[in-house]
Amino acid sequence: MKKLRTLAALGLITVAIFSTNYSAHAEQKTNINLWPKAESPIKDSAEFNARLETILQKMTLEEKVGQIMQAEIQTVTPDDIKKYHLGSVLNGGGSMPNRTDNAQPKEWVDFLDALYIASMDTSDGKQAIPIFWGTDAVHGHNNLTGATLFPHNIGLGAMHNPELIRQIGAATAKEVRATGTEWVFAPTLAVAQNDRWGRTYESYSEDPALVAKYATAMVEGLQGKPNTTEFLAEDRVIATAKHFLADGGTEGGDDQGNARISEKELVNIHNAGYVPALHAGVQTVMASFSEWNGEKMHGNKYLLTDVLKNRMGFDGLVVGDWNGHGQVPGCTNDSCPQAINAGIDLLMVTYDWKAMIENTLKQVKAGEISQARLDDAVRRILRVKMRAGLWDKKPSQRAYAGDKSVVGSAEHRAIARQAVHESLVLLKNTRQVLPINPKHTILVAGDGADHIGKQAGGWSIWWQGVADAKENFRFPGATSIYSGIKTAVDTAGGKTLLSVDGSFTQKPDVAIVVFGENPYAEGSGDRDTLEFEPAKKKSLALLKKLQAQDIPVVAVFLSGRPMWVNPELNASDAFVAAWLPGSEGAGVADVLIAKADGKVNFDFKGTLSFSWPKLPLQDVLDKQHKKYDPLFKSGYGLTYQSGKAGPQNLPEHVAGVASDEPQDIKLYVRRPLEPWHIFIENYERQQILSGAFAALPKGDVKIQATDKDVQEDALTFTWKDTWRAGMTLESGEPLDLTAHMKTGVLAFDINIIELAKGGVSFKMECQKDGCDRVVPFTMAARDLIGKGWKKIYVPLGCFKQEQDNFNATTMPFALEVGGAGEVAVANVELLIQTPKNVPLLSCPDYKTVSVTPDLLNEWWSIDWWLPRHQQKLVDAKAIAAKGGKIDVLFIGDSITQGWEKEGADTWKKYYTKRNAFNIGFGGDRTENVLWRLQHNAVDGMSPKVVVLMIGTNNTGHRHEDPATTAAGIKKVIAELQQRLPDTKILLLAIFPRDEKPDGQLRQINDKINTIIKTYGDNNKVFFVDVNSVFLTKEGVLPEDVMPDFLHPNEKGYDLLAKALEPHLQKLLK
């Protein structure tokens, strides 16, 4: 999910180290001797190893391949576990057992018990090998409702307290065990080097030494100390060191991007946490989505096998990340021998595991994956399972299983609260505003004040976190920052006022304003600048408003990274970096609010583990780089005891500050720019582009970074044999394009490589909830086949209809395609003004398109539509030549054409004897029927009745305004009356679409019907609504009548014919 970013140098150093070891990229030379030697501290007994080998030797090929697969829990049943011998399952962010929102510990345990029992079933003669379940518990058991949520790692880094880290790990392990789960995907050992990265908050520090200290502490907290009785005991869990390697070192802070760094930097900075983790006995390592100098980590044998397993002695298992193998060149989500051969032992294949098993079996049999490599992977998985004692008891019989009392326990919340107040960093404290006398009247303002989701950040209940303050109920037992302040103040006899916008009737003595970043995770948090609230500074306005009323202002800043906040610092008397404190907001009050006697309750202890930027674009900022000039150095942090005030009058008008005027918006320039992400999709699946390549499982839709002017500055999108597919630029943050829509253009470069059997359109989203606008390009594109790169300018007005509002767009560009083709695009921008003297793409006028006759020029219609029209003319003339006649003429779209297919038997029964003739054309809209009528479609005919139904494709293809479609229908009626003046017209209400009455397309059609009902005069035009025959009493459209909720089947046509019969009998008299 990606990125408007400037390319900031990462301080890259190209080091040529001559060695005999080479990566898959021939030009990249490596030196294994740069890497530290290590070994596992765990010495398994001879008996242990003999038991392992006995199990391995008895396993069939199918069992072995099943063991190396990890499936998402929503895709598996106990029967699947037994049948396919799956080795592991996971729950993605927000995925809960049985798709139950707010699933309780017992539901988790019962679900896992069922899977475990199936995995241990030997009734088919296969081995009993227990399944294990992995979960992302990155700041507590964050997927579990009611769990203790500790501060995210960036806050923990500010504590500089390894012992408290160890306690957090142990507490997390107990709460995870309450759900029966044995394995967590933590800790993250990234050493984040670019704060624009959306996962910066998952990093403890920019300092490799601190990450190394914390690696030991967290692994031991989660797993217990190796070679002691606490190691992997029932109150501990299997830990995962992730993401190997250099996930925090990518160019531009691009999530899942490319770390263009030397091997020396890879070793000294990014590997710093892994050796201590290995020495602490970490049992699993997760491969990174990212690349090292252009080579995907999931396919990097040198780093996964030669370095990690051989040089550093790791004897546990390497697990892939979420379909990360599918990003390896030549792989898809359901096939990737390259990743297995590189050293991935357990594939996190999520949804496509059945196809992956089938493909992997073939690849082992064909020798693409050696039996030795497969055995090594399975051996590592068995070793970890045996060390964890998974054979001993089913999940429900283990310690803490189903125990609600351990989840969010007072003991754990106390640990989290301590972590909160130790992580707070005081950046400024003028006039000694802090600590605050609790007997005062205190205004608590800002959108983060009473918003637990915001203070918790991403990976909290849901993957992207909880963005709505109204959903505090999702965090039972948690305390918002405001609630913590209120409790402390009420106890001392003071008064608190909660007002998000800062309004009040009683002037407060002091104001605490809580604001900051909204929740995000992974690539959705990637940014192009470190400026907080660029251009539209609503939080700054609130601070200034309070300051202007001579109210002392304390700013509490929630963020997952250091940010440029000079204006906000200037507008505050005190400024606290609170990071993402988690569920225990009271920890903030512990430090900000004094005791009842006015004395300090807790002094500030936290100091920065990341340097704080002086400029908005100062994203690579740590002591490792030459031009180190931060606003606050790593290690900075004021205390009450020191009495220091911090900076005053910081410069606000500096290079890189965003303008508040609407500007050109770059969406894709060499890569997706923040906050945009490239996706590919079809009707079944959507997949993000991470790195240089992505493909949907069937291989029919692919995208790859290719070269236009420089390396990988374009995207080549390929599709085949698909009804509909797409390449989209999307974001979780809505974009206001109101100003752009007036005079702007969508500008981009395009190269139509192949399109003879396909089509392409451009699409934008005007609002969420299905408001898409499409501009056709197929005919123009076919003229460009093979002509190389062309610059296209599409007026943004082409996408806008009168009723549209583009003030919250999350998909500003998409290619909508079908058939087969290959198209490359580059340099996608939204320009606020149309450039002078450039050719603009012509587009339909949405106000008049429905009444302007035109051919149906869709990719799927070009080959047959005009020939069908011509053939129908021939057929009609043939009837006349034989002395025949046409008494009933059916005109319409695919529903009318369907009388020749699904409705054929019914047609024969009811209409053949009535001399009926069908000129329904699939895909037709009103303008296409008009074109056919004006091109001889009814010439020479004199039917008694025309049965007309048209307009549903105006709705489906364009989401057209009902009045516009109705105008097109009115024009069709007028054209028919001109050409067939003696014919009666039976105008049918447009049939219902969508399954339920509240469906968007159903509602549009209903509005059209309300208008066209008035066209019936019961003289020449007779309006009939037979829609009720298709619907249940509740208005539901059954699949056994219209399987796709649009086209009738045999039953549907029979219902239609019976409903039409009395009307036709009357009109044919």
What are the tens digits of pLDDT across the range 864-889?
Answer: 999 999 999 999 999 999 989 999 99
Split into its structural domains, the chain has a count of 4
Q: Does 771 lie in the same domain as 681?
A: yes
* Residue 8 pLDDT exceeds 70: no
* Residue 13 pLDDT exceeds 70: no
What sign does the dihedral 255-256-257-262 (CA atoms) show?
Answer: positive
Average pLDDT of the residues in 349-378: 97
pLDDT value for 9: 29
What is residue 681's three-state secondary structure? strand
Average pLDDT of the residues in 641-651: 95
The domain that holds 979 is classified in CATH as 3.40.50.1110
User: Can you spell out the DSSP letters for 425-462?
Assistant: EEEEEGGG-PSBPTTSEEEEESTTTT-HHHHH-SSBSB
pLDDT digits (tens, 9 = 90+) for 730-741: 876 688 899 999
pLDDT value for 528: 86
Average pLDDT, the chain: 93
pLDDT bracket for residue 671 (50, 70, 90): confident
* Residue 22 pLDDT exceeds 80: no
* Residue 6 pLDDT exceeds 60: no
What is residue 124's three-state secondary structure? coil
Q: Does 801 lie in the same domain as 923?
A: no
Q: Does 373 lie in the same domain as 290?
A: yes
pLDDT value for 473: 93
Average pLDDT of the residues in 155-183: 98
pLDDT value for 23: 38
Rounded CA-CA distance 288/751 in Å is 33
Residue 674, exposed/middle/buried by CB under 10 A (0-12, 13-18, 19+)?
Answer: buried
- Terminal CA-to-CA distance of the chain, rounded, Å? 64
Q: Does 502 lie in the same domain as 367?
A: no
4 within a domain of the structure (yes/no) = no
35-38 — which CB contacts under 8 Å span 24+ positions? 35/267, 35/271, 35/307, 35/311, 35/312, 36/267, 36/271, 36/275, 36/311, 36/312, 37/311, 37/312, 37/313, 38/275, 38/278, 38/279, 38/311, 38/312, 38/313, 38/314
The domain that holds 530 is classified in CATH as 3.40.50.1700
pLDDT bracket for residue 691 (50, 70, 90): low
pLDDT value for 771: 76
Length in residues, the chain: 1069
Q: Does 681 lie in the same domain as 652?
A: no
Residue 812, exposed/middle/buried by CB under 10 A (0-12, 13-18, 19+)?
Answer: buried
Q: Quick check: is 352 catalytic?
A: no
- Integer Rg of the chain from CA: 33
* Residue 297 pLDDT exceeds 50: yes
Please pick, among 207, 321, 533, 816, the residue that the annotation labels catalytic. 321
Lowest mean pLDDT among 229-243, 272-286, 694-708: 694-708
3-state secondary structure 346-412: EEEEECCHHHHHHHHHHHHHCCCCCHHHHHHHHHHHHHHHHHCCCCCCCHHHCCCCCCHHHCCCHHH
Rounded CA-CA distance 252/5 in Å is 8
- The 8-class DSSP code of residue 584 comes to B
Residue where the block lists tokens 């057209």: 960
pLDDT value for 27: 55
Task: Among 659, 680, 708, give the residue marking a domain's end.
Answer: 659
* Residue 18 pLDDT exceeds 50: no
Task: Among 361, 379, 397, give the residue marking a domain's end.
Answer: 397
Rounded CA-CA distance 596/588 in Å is 16
Position with higher pLDDT, 92 vs 425: 425
User: Can you spell out the DSSP letters for 639-669?
Assistant: -TTT------S---S-TTPPPSS---EEEES
Total H helices, total E strands in the chain? 29, 35
Rounded CA-CA distance 317/284 in Å is 5
- In contact, 251 and 258? CB cutoff 8 Å: yes
Rounded CA-CA distance 855/609 in Å is 65
Q: Does 259 lie in the same domain as 129?
A: yes
- In contact, 285 and 242? CB cutoff 8 Å: yes
User: Can you spell out the DSSP letters for 700-730?
Assistant: SEEEEEE-SSSTT-EEEEEEEEEEEEEEEEE
Instruction: Output b/e per residue, 675-707; b: 16+ Cβ within 10 A.
Output: bbbbbbbbeeeebbbbbbbbbbbbeebbbbbbe
* Residue 14 pLDDT exceeds 50: no
Rounded CA-CA distance 528/535 in Å is 13
pLDDT value for 874: 96
pLDDT value for 697: 85
pLDDT digits (tens, 9 = 90+) for 904-926: 999 999 999 999 999 999 999 99
What is residue 204's three-state secondary structure? coil
User: Can you spell out the DSSP letters for 148-163?
Assistant: --PPPHHHHHHH--HH
pLDDT digits (tens, 9 = 90+) for 498-536: 999 999 999 999 999 999 999 988 887 888 899 999 878
Considering only the C-alpha atoms of the chain, give the largest distance between any 2 of them, rounded to a whole number of Å: 109
The domain that holds 813 is classified in CATH as 2.60.120.430
416 within a domain of the structure (yes/no) = no
Q: How far is CA 489 from CA 441, 496, 553, 1035, in A?
A: 9, 7, 17, 55
Q: Please, what is the Cα angle at 1041 between 1036 and 1045, to 5 degrees?
A: 60
Residue 651, both tokens = 């410069």
Average pLDDT of the residues in 687-716: 84
> Phi and psi for 32 in degrees, rounded to 5?
-60, -25
Binning the chain into helix, strand and coil, the percentages to the nearest 5 are: 35, 20, 45
Residue 120, both tokens = 């241990």
pLDDT digits (tens, 9 = 90+) for 774-815: 999 999 999 999 999 999 999 999 998 777 888 888 899 999
856 within a domain of the structure (yes/no) = no
Please pick, among 522, 526, 590, 749, the residue that the annotation labels catalytic. 522
Q: Does 802 lie in the same domain as 951?
A: no
- CB neighbour list of residue 871: distance below 8 Å, 6 or more residues apart: none
Average pLDDT of the residues in 668-691: 82
Task: Among 843, 874, 909, give the residue marking a domain's end.
Answer: 843
State which H helix or E strand residue 420 sits in: helix 410-423
Q: How far is CA 242 from CA 181, 278, 318, in A?
A: 19, 12, 10
Rounded CA-CA distance 217/204 in Å is 12
Nearest to residue 577, comparing CAs of 546, 608, 621, 599? 608
Q: Does 837 lie in the same domain as 755?
A: yes
Rounded CA-CA distance 302/927 in Å is 61
Residue 394, both tokens = 């089913």
Q: Does 902 lie in the same domain as 793?
A: no
Percentage with pLDDT > 90 across the chain: 83
Percentage with pLDDT > 70 across the chain: 96
- CB neighbour list of residue 54: distance below 8 Å, 6 or more residues apart: none
Q: Residue 812 belongs to what domain range?
A: 665-843
For 433, what's the count of Cα atoms within 13 Å in the CB-facing half-sphere?
23
415 within a domain of the structure (yes/no) = no
25 within a domain of the structure (yes/no) = no
* Residue 5 pLDDT exceeds 80: no
857 within a domain of the structure (yes/no) = no
The domain that holds 317 is classified in CATH as 3.20.20.300
409 within a domain of the structure (yes/no) = no
* Residue 497 pLDDT exceeds 80: yes
Q: Does 179 lie in the same domain as 96?
A: yes
Q: Does 735 lie in the same domain as 622?
A: no
pLDDT bracket for residue 690 (50, 70, 90): low
Q: Quick check: is 509 catalytic?
A: no
Residue where the block lists tokens 């320009």: 831
113 within a domain of the structure (yes/no) = yes
Q: Does 723 lie in the same domain as 641?
A: no
